[in-house]
Structure 1
Amino acid sequence: MLYNTDILGNFLESRVRLTHIDHNETLSLRVPTGQDDFNVGIGKYVAYISVYDEGVPYVVSSQRIEISRNKTSYLLYELLEGAGAGRPLGAFDQDGDQFLGRVEIAENTDPSDANSVPGITTLNWPAQYHSSEAGWLRGELHAHSKYGVGTEKVSRVIRRAEKLGLDFLAILDRNTLEAPLDPEFRSDTVVLIPAMEWGSDDKGVALVYSPRSLPMLPETSAEMGAMIRTIRRQGGLVYAAHPCYPIGSWNWNVDDLNGIQAWCMGWRSVPGITVNAVNEYNRILVDDRFVHPLAKAANLPGLSSNGQSTMYWDYELNRGLRLGVIGGSQTGSRKVRMAEPVTYVYAMEKSLQGILDGIRLGRTYISRGLDGPRIDWVGDISDDDTIDVSIGGMVPLDVETKFYCRIRGAKGKKLEIMLNGSPDASKMIPKDDWIFEYVRRPEDPVIYRIRIVTPPTEKGFGLLETVAMTGPIYVRGVMSDTLIDGELLKIENDYIDPEDLSSFMQYLENNGVGAKRVGE
C-alpha cells in the first residue's frame, strides 16, 4: 500500500517502479491519487517512488520492501522539497535524470552524471574507431531486423550494408535494444550505431541513437520532453520518425528533439496524411486556420508523406528551432533497398562518436541513393576569402555572405535555394560537377537550405521528385554594427575545423572561385 504526501498531508500524484532484487524484473504503477493498494508477486523489491511536478515524474524516494503472502506491506513517504519557496522538483535534480540528488546519493550514484542512475544498468557501446580522416560519410539510419518488423537476422542486415560499401548503419526495432545487444552486431568496415524506435503508432515514433538505457514509454508531452532531455544529456540523439507517415505520425512536440526524419523510403512512394490523423489537441483553429505545424502540413493536399514531413520541418524551423534532418529506407528485408535514401554525415573521424557528433551538429544531407547527387555547401562571411560556415552552422544578420555550392551527379536537374521553406533562387544544373555561387545579406533571422528536384518519371504522390536536400544554414545572432577593435564579431562556428574542407577549398581555387581555407 502506498501513502505519498507533502508535509501538509496533501496526497501527491505519484508513480511507483518496483524492481525485483533477484531477477531484475520491473513493474511500473501509476497512482494518480497518491494513495492506493495493489497486488504484486512475492519477493524482495526496490521501490522507486516518483512525484509528478508539471507533468514530469521525479523519483523522490527509494525503499527496500519485502512482499509476503497474506501480508500487507507499506510504502510511506512525506515529501519535503518544494514546500518552502515553491521551487519545482526539477531544481533538485542536478543532472536531469529525473532522480532527486539526495536519492542518488543514498543509492551511491553520481547526482551530477546523467549516466549514473539508480536501479538502471548503463550501456557502454564500443567506440568502433575506423579512421582519423575527416569527411563526408554515408549510411543507413533506419533499418529493421527480426527483432522488429524485419525478417532478417542482424548479421544479414549488416552484410548488406557492408556489400554496399556504407560507412555506418543503424538497426532500429520498436521499443527494444535487442539488435545492438545481439552478439552478431559487429563489423570490421561499417560503424554500427546502437539504436531503437521508441513510441507507438498512436502518438508517434522517435528514432533514438546511442541510448544508454531502455527508456520507458511516456504518458504525457511533459514526460516525453523530460525523457528526451535525459537521453540527450546521456549522449544520445532523438529524431522524430516520418512525422507525416500514415501510420505513426508524430503528435508530440519537437522542442526537445535533435531533429526530424523528413525523408523515409522513396520520396513520392507513400501518401501524406489527412488532418484526421492529427490528434484533436493539435487541430486547434484560429481564424479558421490550423495553428499546429503538424495540422498545417497535413492540410496540404496532394503531397507525399515526405513532402508533408518536410513542410512540417520547415514550419518548426520557422518557429526559431534548430532541427537537423536525416533520412532512411526502413528496410527490413532485401525487398526494400537499403540506403534509398542515404544520409551523408560530415564527421571529424570515422567512429561511433564522430558520426554521432556530426549528426548532432546538423552536418547532414540526404540523397535519393548511393548514385544520387552529392552536395558541398559552404559560406564566406563578409567576403574576406575565408570559409566560415557549412551545413548546420550559422551566419550573422545584416552581413554579406558569399555561398558556394558544389553539386555532383545532378546534371539536368534543378537546384533550389530554399528560404524559410520557399524557393529563393533556382538554377538548372548544367553539368555533373558544377559550382553555384550566390551572395545574400539577410536582415532578419531566416533559414537557408538546399534541395535538388526534377519532374517525376513514375507514378506517385506530389508534383516534384526531390533527389537531394541539405540540413539548414541558420541566420542568427549579431548585427553588423557589433564591432571589437573595428572588426566584425562573427557568429561562432567552432566546430568548423580549418582543415575540414581542405579538398573542397582546393577544388574551388583550382576552378577560379578564389576562396581560401580558414587561417590562410
Structure 2
Amino acid sequence: MRTLLCWEGQFTPADKAASDYVLLPFEVPPGVARLEVRYVFEGQGRPDSPNVIDMGLFDPRGADFLRAEGFRGWSGSARSEAILTPRSATPGYLPGPLFPGRWYVILGLYRIAPQGCACRVIVEAAEEEGELPHPPPPHLGGWISPAASASAEEAGWLRGDLQSHSHHSDAPGSLEDLIESARRRGLDFLAVTEHNTVSHLPYLQAWSRPDLLLIPGEEVTTYYGHMNAWGISRWLDFRCRTAEQLRAVIEAAHAMGALVSINHPKTDGPPWEYPPDLPVDAVEAWQGPWPLRNQESLAFWDRLLRAGRRVTAVGGSDKHQDRPSEGTPFYQVGHPTTWVYAAARTIPAILDAIRLGRVVITADVDAPWLELTAEQGDRRWMVGDEAPPGPLRIRCVVREGKGLHLRLLSRLGEQAFLAIDRSPFEWTTELDLRPHGYVRAELRGVRHFEAETPDDLPMVAMTNPIWGPVGWFEEER
C-alpha cells in the first residue's frame, strides 16, 4: 500500500463556528485500483463523547455545494474506515473508477468539545483491487427511478414505512435483513432513506418486487435538522447551514420529481432549527412509538395547518435495522404504519398520494382503522380532498376501536371528543369548512389516571385533513 495522505490536526469550537465541514485534499496517481481511508478522533466510538466527527469522500469530478458530481460516499461517524474499488465499496460509498487527480476527504464537525478535538486521517492506495469490501451492487449503470415498478391495479390503500436505515448508513443490520423484515410485516412499500448517501439505490432497483415496492430515498441529515427525500434519482447535498442553502436542496429534489419531508421536529429528534416555511411536501408527525415525544411533532405540523399550509402528515419508524442475533427489537419497521390511497400499486402513484395528502397513519400494520370522509348530497370527499363551501356531513368510521376515543379537530380547535363503545363505530356531524379551514380526525387510547387532556392519551391512528375552500386563510389576513 502507498500512503497518499497522513494528516493530523486539532479542531476547535472556532473551527466549527467558521464551517461545519473541512475538505482534506490528496492526489491519486494513475493505475490505482484500491483506496483505503481511515480516521480517528478523540472519543471516537464512545456514546458519551463530547466529540463527533463525520467522514465522507469526493473524487476529482467536483466537491462544490450542489455541484458535487464527485460524491463518492458518506458514513457519518458510524465507521472508522472506508474502502473503494472499481467493483465494490464499503456500504455508504460508491464503487467505480478511481480517477487520477485531486480527491477530498470531507470531515463533518458535528460536535467539538470546548477544549478541542485531535483528529488523524490516513489514505492509502494499491494497484491491485484485492478482497472486495462488500458484494458488488446488482447494477452499476446508475439508478433509474421505476416509472411503473409493478403492475397497475385498482386504486386502494397501501401500507408502508417512509423512513428506514440499514448498514448503508448507521444501522448494524443489513439492507437484505431490513427488506425481509418489511416483507414479514406485510408492508406494501418501504422507503429506505440512508443518511446522506445513495449507495443503496442500485440494490433497491434490483430487489423491488410487486409485493414490496422499495422507494429510493435519502435522509438529508444536516446539523440543524433532518429531511427525507423520496423518489430521488441521484444524491442530494446535505451541507446546509442556512435556510437559503436548504431551500436550494429542496428545489433540486423537486426538479427530479422527488418529495421532501421535515423529519421528527421534536426534542432529541433532533429538532428542526430551520424556518418552518420552507417549501416541503410533508412533515413526519409520527416517528417510532408514540410516547417518544411525538406530541411535539404533531403540534409542529398542526401549527403549519393553522397558518394555512397544506402539508401532508406522514409517519416513519426510523427503524435502524438490527442484526439477526440481537433478539426481539424494541420496535419494528412499520411502527407506525403510513397508509396511502394510491391510484395504482406503483412508486409514482404512492408519491402522488402523499403529495395529495391521501394519507392515514396507524400505530401498527394491524392497528385499529380510522376513516374520515365528507359528503354533500351524492358527492363524497376523502382526506387530502378540497370540499366546497356549505354544510357538509362529516363521517368518521372506526374499526376494532372499542374502548378508544375519537377526536375531531379543525383550525378552530377540538370539535368533538367521544368514547367508542362498539366496533365497528360510525359517527357523523355537520360542519361548514369555510370558517374551519379543514377538519381532521384522531383515534386516541384508553383514559388512564395520568391523562388530564386528550393530548395525554396515546395516538392509535390519525388522518390528514379534508380541506375547506381555498381562500379562507387569505381572507382572515
**Is 2:391–2:432's contact at 8 Å kept on the other side of the alignment?**
yes
Matching residue within 203, 220, 242 for 2:264: 242
Say if 1:463 and 1:156 are closer, same or farther in 2 by CA, change over 3 A: same
Say if 1:174 and 1:194 are closer, same or farther in 2 by CA, change over 3 A: same
Say if 1:248 and 1:439 are closer, same or farther in 2 by CA, change over 3 A: same
One-letter code aligned to 2:374: G
Please give the alpha-carbon distance, in whole angstroms, between the structure 1 residues aligned to 2:371 and 2:399: 9
**Offset, 1:405:** 1.8
**Is 2:434–2:469's contact at 8 Å kept on the other side of the alignment?**
no
CA RMSD of superposed structures (Å): 3.0
Matching residue within 260, 269, 284 for 1:261: 284
1:198 alignment counterpart: 220
**Is 2:150–2:210's contact at 8 Å kept on the other side of the alignment?**
no
2:300 alignment counterpart: 312
Please give the alpha-carbon distance, in whole angstroms, between the structure 1 residues aligned to 2:394 and 2:65: 55
More strand by share: 2
- 1:366-405 correspondence runs (5 A): 366-380=361-375, 383-387=376-380, 389-397=381-389, 399-405=390-396
2:33 alignment counterpart: none
SS at match of 2:435: coil
1:124 alignment counterpart: 144
**Offset, 1:317:** 1.1
TM-superposition CA deviations, 1:89-112 (whole Å, max 9, x none): xxxxxxxxxxxxxxxxxxxxxxxx
Say if 1:262 and 1:478 are closer, same or farther in 2 by CA, change over 3 A: closer
TM-superposition CA deviations, 1:320-374 (whole Å, max 9, x none): 1111011111112352312111000000001111111111111001101022121
1:251 alignment counterpart: 273
**Offset, 1:454:** 1.7
TM-superposition CA deviations, 1:176-227 (whole Å, max 9, x none): 1122223764334101100111022x31000110112211122321221232
1:323 aligns with 2:344: no
SS at match of 1:396: coil
Say if 1:250 and 1:418 are closer, same or farther in 2 by CA, change over 3 A: same
One-letter code aligned to 2:281: N
**Is 2:164–2:320's contact at 8 Å kept on the other side of the alignment?**
yes
**Offset, 1:24:** 5.4
TM-superposition CA deviations, 1:369-416 (whole Å, max 9, x none): 022121222212xx32221x210111234x111122221121111110
SS at match of 2:409: strand
**Is 2:395–2:429's contact at 8 Å kept on the other side of the alignment?**
yes
SS at match of 2:163: strand
Please give the alpha-carbon distance, in whole angstroms, between the structure 1 residues aligned to 2:279 and 2:225: 15
One-letter code aligned to 1:193: I
Please give the alpha-carbon distance, in whole angstroms, between the structure 2 residues aligned to 1:203 and 1:341: 25
Q: Which moved more, 1:229-238 or 1:450-459?
A: 450-459
One-letter code aligned to 2:334: A
1:362 aligns with 2:354: no
2:459 alignment counterpart: 466
Residue segments in structure 1 that go unaligned for 5+ positions in a row: 1-16, 31-65, 69-120, 271-304, 480-520
- 1:168-207 correspondence runs (5 A): 168-182=189-203, 185-200=207-222, 202-207=223-228
The TM-score, its normalising length taken from structure 2, stands at 0.65
Which is higher, the Rg of structure 1 or of structure 2? 1
**Is 2:145–2:232's contact at 8 Å kept on the other side of the alignment?**
no
Residue segments in structure 2 that go unaligned for 5+ positions in a row: 1-22, 31-58, 67-99, 103-140, 323-328, 473-477
Please give the alpha-carbon distance, in whole angstroms, between the structure 1 residues aligned to 2:202 and 2:382: 35
1:100 alignment counterpart: none
1:27 alignment counterpart: 63
1:40 alignment counterpart: none
2:115 alignment counterpart: none
1:477 alignment counterpart: 470
**Offset, 1:245:** 3.9
**Is 1:318–1:447's contact at 8 Å kept on the other side of the alignment?**
no
SS at match of 1:371: coil
**Is 1:445–1:476's contact at 8 Å kept on the other side of the alignment?**
no
1:153 aligns with 2:174: yes
**Is 2:336–2:361's contact at 8 Å kept on the other side of the alignment?**
yes
1:352 aligns with 2:347: yes
Please give the alpha-carbon distance, in whole angstroms, between the structure 2 residues aligned to 1:230 and 1:458: 49
One-letter code aligned to 1:213: R
Please give the alpha-carbon distance, in whole angstroms, between the structure 2 residues aligned to 1:463 and 1:478: 33
1:414 aligns with 2:435: no
SS at match of 1:26: coil
TM-superposition CA deviations, 1:103-131 (whole Å, max 9, x none): xxxxxxxxxxxxxxxxxx98421231244
Higher relative contact order (CA 8 A, sep 6+): 2
**Is 1:158–1:187's contact at 8 Å kept on the other side of the alignment?**
no
1:454 aligns with 2:418: no
* Percent identity (aligned): 25
Q: Which moved more, 1:206-215 or 1:247-256?
A: 247-256
One-letter code aligned to 1:148: S
SS at match of 1:165: coil
One-letter code aligned to 1:363: R
**Offset, 1:311:** 0.7
**Is 1:137–1:347's contact at 8 Å kept on the other side of the alignment?**
yes
One-letter code aligned to 2:167: K
**Is 2:444–2:461's contact at 8 Å kept on the other side of the alignment?**
yes
**Is 1:311–1:421's contact at 8 Å kept on the other side of the alignment?**
no
**Is 1:179–1:185's contact at 8 Å kept on the other side of the alignment?**
no
Please give the alpha-carbon distance, in whole angstroms, between the structure 1 residues aligned to 2:261 and 2:450: 29
- 1:209-288 correspondence runs (5 A): 209-217=230-238, 218-254=240-276, 255-268=278-291, 270=292
Please give the alpha-carbon distance, in whole angstroms, between the structure 2 residues aligned to 1:185 and 1:264: 26
**Is 1:455–1:463's contact at 8 Å kept on the other side of the alignment?**
no
1:143 alignment counterpart: 164
SS at match of 2:63: strand
**Offset, 1:457:** 6.7
**Is 1:140–1:170's contact at 8 Å kept on the other side of the alignment?**
yes
SS at match of 1:395: coil
Please give the alpha-carbon distance, in whole angstroms, between the structure 1 residues aligned to 2:471 and 2:241: 40
**Is 1:198–1:208's contact at 8 Å kept on the other side of the alignment?**
yes
1:7 alignment counterpart: none
One-letter code aligned to 1:191: L
User: Number of aligned pairs?
Assistant: 334
One-letter code aligned to 1:393: D
